[in-house]
Structure 1
Amino acid sequence: MTLDDLKARHSALLAARYSGTRSVSYDGKSINYGSDAELAAAIADIERRIARLERGAGRVMRPYIVKDL
């Protein structure tokens, strides 16, 4: 799933939550959430995935020691 797909789903989830509905439709699929807590959990999951993709692979730091005589 690409970053653009995740952002589109995030927008759909937020719009549903702010409008008070628990049904979300995107890509021809419809999902009904049983409670606001389930919808909030889905939003949090999407936000974590977006943050992971935007952050990238991260830096690898390799320590080394230099002896100065």
Structure 2
Amino acid sequence: MAFTQQNLDAIEKAIATGTLSVEYNGKRITYRSMGDLLKARDVIKTELLKQQAPGVPRSSIAIYQRF
């Protein structure tokens, strides 16, 4: 499934309002928890990034500090 910015907008609106139901593509989805909604948002964000720049490897850096 190809996600769109509208999908992400709907998820983020639900998160902001504390609603567990989201409607997009003519379907209504009710998530079990805010955690599930946050995971769905992360999946959609990742997929949108892949669509914008296919084939570009992603990397991250962890920085540790001693206190």
2:12 alignment counterpart:
14
Aligned to 1:26: 24
Unaligned runs of 5+ in 1: 60-69
* Structure-2-length-normalised TM-score: 0.75
Written as runs of structure 1 = structure 2, the 5 A alignment for 1:15-54 is 15-54=13-52
Distance 2:28 2:36 in 1: 15
Report how many aligned residue pairs link the two structures: 56
Identity level (%): 27
Partner Cα distance (2:43, 2:19) in 1: 19
Q: Which runs of 4+ in 1 moved over 4 A?
A: none
Tell me how large the CA RMSD over aligned residues is.
1.6
Task: Point out the structure with max Rg over C-alpha.
Answer: 1
